[in-house]
Amino acid sequence: MTAPSVLLRIRHASKTYSGIPALIDVDLDLEIGEVHALMGENGAGKSTLIKLLAGVTAADSAQFEIKGRPVSLSSPQSAFAHGLRFIHQELQVVRQLSAAENIFLGQSYPTRFGFQVRWKQLYAQAEHVLAQLGIESIDPRRTMGHFSPGDQMLINIAHAFVGDDLSRESGGALVYVMDEPTAALTGAETARLFRVIERLRGRGCAVLYVSHRMDEIFAIADRVTVMRDGRVVDTCPIREITPLELIVKMTGRDLQHVYPPRNEPLSEQVLLDVRGVQTRLVQAATFQVHAGEIVGVAGLNGSGRTELLRAVMGLDRLTAGAIWLDGKRLTPHSPPKAWREGIAFVPEERRSQGLVLSRSVADNLTLPQLGHVSAGGWRLAHQRERQISRDTGESVRLKARSPAQTVRELSGGNQQKVVFGRALVRPPRLLLLDEPTRGVDVGAKADLYTLIRDISGRGTGILLVSSDLAELIGMTDRILILRGGQLVEIVASKGLTSERLLALCYENLEYVGSKNPDP
C-alpha cells in the first residue's frame, strides 16, 4: 500500500552486468514536492538505477509505481509517457543545429501541411521554454556550437521541460532525474537551475538529484539516499545528517578484500621525479615515486587523475615542468618513448583503450614490446610470441583457450589480465594503473592485488589511480590528493581511513567539478 504522498516508488530493483551485481534489491520512494539527493561513490550503482528508470537498461527484477499504480518502464518512450524526465551530465546536443532545434530534438516540430516546418513558431516555443527557466540570454536561432558549455547545458536542460507547462499545476506525475547537471555550470547558472528546481517542487513534482557536490546537496535537497556497492545504505532527511556522516555512510563498506602487505622495506632510490608538471588539465604537479613504491592517486571524477597519468605517459603535451625517470629527463616525451624507457600503462577503459578486441591474445600481449620480441626488431617471431604469451598468461593466471584466441571472446576479468600481462612482458620500471580493478569480479581482483604487490616487490614503482578508497589505502604507501586538476596534498596511507580520504577529496567545495560519467 502506497502512502498518498509518494509519487514514484521503486521496489526490489536488481541488475547484474555479466555476473557482476550493479544493483541489489534497491528500494526508493520519491515524494510529491520533494528534492531527493542520491549519493554514493563512483560505481555505487547510481547510474545503473537511473538507466533503469529511463528505460534504457532492462532490470533483472524491479517494480515501479507511480501514484500507487504499477507501471512498466520498458523503454525510453514508456518512461517519458509516465512523466519521467532526464537530464544527463553528458551533453546530448547536436552542435550543427540551432538551440531551438536542440530543445525540441526528438519532438515533432510545428508544421504547415504536415511537412513544412514553421520556424517562427518553433523559435517562439523555444523562447517560451527558456523563459520558463528564467533564461533570457540565449537566442534560440543560433547554432549550438556558438554557446559556452554552460549555456549548452542549460539548453540541454530546457530539452527536458518541453511540453510541460511550468506555470500551471502539474497535471501528470512528473519526476525529474538530474544526473550531475551542474558539472559544466557556473555559480550563476547553477543558481538559476536551483530556482527552476524550487518551482518544480512548488508544483508538486519530484526531483531525483545526483551530485558529488556536498554544498549543493545541503542547499537544495529535502532527503538523501546513500548507495554503496549497489545497495541502499540509508535514506534520511537532510537536516538529520552532517556532511561527515554522509561520507562515512558512502565509504563504510565491509572489508571484502585482504590486501597483501608490503614485504620489503621501501627503497630510498627515487625512480620517478615529476617537477611542476602542467598540461591542459593538470596544474603544477610535483611528486616523486621511489623504486618499489606504490603511490595512489585519489580525487573525484574530473579531478585530473587520468590526466596526471597521461602526462607521465607522454600522451598530453607538457606546457610547463619536467619528468625524470631514473635521473634521465624525458624530453621530448611520447608513448613509444615511454614504453621504451620502461613505463607501462594500464588504461581506464580496457575495451576501447587497452585492447584491440579483434586481435589475438598473443598480438595484444606483445604489442607494446613488438620491437623487442621480434627477430631483428622488424620480423615477427611467431614461435617466440606464443612462448611469451604462455609465460605471461601463466604469471597473470589468464584463462584463455590458446594464445591465438581472439580477445573479444574473453570475460571482462580475463581481458583485464591481458592488459596487465602486456605491461609485464618486459619487466617495467614504472607501472601506471588507471582503475585496474573496475568491473572485475572478486576472484580476479584478489589475483590482481597479489600481482601488483609482486611487481612492486621487484623494484617497480607504481602509480595507482582508483575510485575504490579501501583499495587505495590498502595497496599504497602514499596517496596524492587531486582537486580540480591540482595536486593539493600528499598523505601517507598508513592509518588513513576511507572517511578521512574522501573528506580530503571533497574539501574546497568550489573546486569540485565533474567531467567524467560515472562507470
Alpha-carbon span 517 to 184, nearest angstrom? 12
- Residue from the set 380, 404, 442, 492 that interacts with another protein by CB under 8 A: 380
- Closest by CA to 268, choosing from 107, 398, 86, 459, is 459
C-alpha cell at 461: 614503482
- Per CB under 8 A, contacts with another protein among 187-226 are none
Q: Which is nearer to another protein, 235 or 406 (CB)?
A: 406
For residue 135, the minimal CB distance to another protein (Å) is 35
For residue 109, the minimal CB distance to another protein (Å) is 31
For residue 461, the minimal CB distance to another protein (Å) is 19
Phi, psi for 194 (deg, rounded to 5): -65, -35
The answer to whether 299 and 482 are in contact (CB under 8 A) is yes
For residue 464, the minimal CB distance to another protein (Å) is 17
Q: Which is nearer to another protein, 246 or 388 (CB)?
A: 388
- Residue from the set 162, 244, 270, 315 that interacts with another protein by CB under 8 A: 315
For residue 282, the minimal CB distance to another protein (Å) is 18
Residue 500 interacting with another protein (CB under 8 A): no
Residue 422 interacting with another protein (CB under 8 A): yes
List CB contacts of 137: < 8 A, sequence separation 6 or more. Answer: 151
Beta bridge partners of 213: none
Q: 3-state class of 283 per DSSP?
A: strand
In 3-state terms, the chain is what percent helix, strand and coil (to 5)?
35, 25, 40
Q: How many residues bind another protein (CB under 8 A)?
A: 30
C-alpha cell at 369: 614490446
- Per CB under 8 A, contacts with another protein among 342-361 are 345, 347, 352-359
- Per CB under 8 A, contacts with another protein among 391-420 are 406
Q: Which is nearer to another protein, 20 or 380 (CB)?
A: 380
Residue 367 interacting with another protein (CB under 8 A): yes
For residue 149, the minimal CB distance to another protein (Å) is 22
Rg (CA), the chain: 25
DSSP string, 286-313: EEEEETT-EEEEE--TTSSHHHHHHHHH
Q: 3-state class of 385 per DSSP?
A: helix
| Region label for 172, one of left (φ > 0), alpha (ψ between -120 and 50) or beta (otherwise) | beta
Which span (202-210, 340-348, 457-465, 502-510) binds another protein, by CB under 8 A?
340-348
- Residue from the set 266, 370, 490, 503 that interacts with another protein by CB under 8 A: 370
What is the binding site for another protein (CB under 8 A)? 313, 315, 334-336, 338-340, 345, 347, 352-359, 363, 367-368, 370-371, 374, 377-380, 406, 422
